[in-house]
Amino acid sequence: MKTIKAMSIAAVAALSLMSAASFAQTVTATSLTLDGAEAKIAAQAHQQNEQYKIIEASNGNVVHMTAELYK
C-alpha cells in the first residue's frame, strides 16, 4: 500500500511539473527604450508562434523587460 501511495504522489508531482512547463516560457530583452524591448519580446514570441504577456519592465540606463510566452 505504501508503494502505491508513493508512486501516486510521484506521478502527480511529475505531471504537475510537466504541465506547468509546457504552458509558459519566460523570455527577457533589453533595449534603450520600452518600445525597443517590447519589439524584441514580440519577435521572440512570433518566432515561436506564441503570444506574450509582459510581466516586468524596469529601466535605468537601459530597459529590461520580462514576458511570458503562451499558446
**6-59 pLDDT, tens per residue?**
445 555 555 555 555 556 899 999 999 999 999 999 999 999 999 999 999 999
Is the pLDDT assigned to residue 63 strictly greater than 80? yes
* Plot region of 49 (φ>0 → left; ψ -120 to 50 → alpha; else → beta): left
pTM here is: 0.68
Helix (H, G, I), strand (E, B) or coil at 60: coil
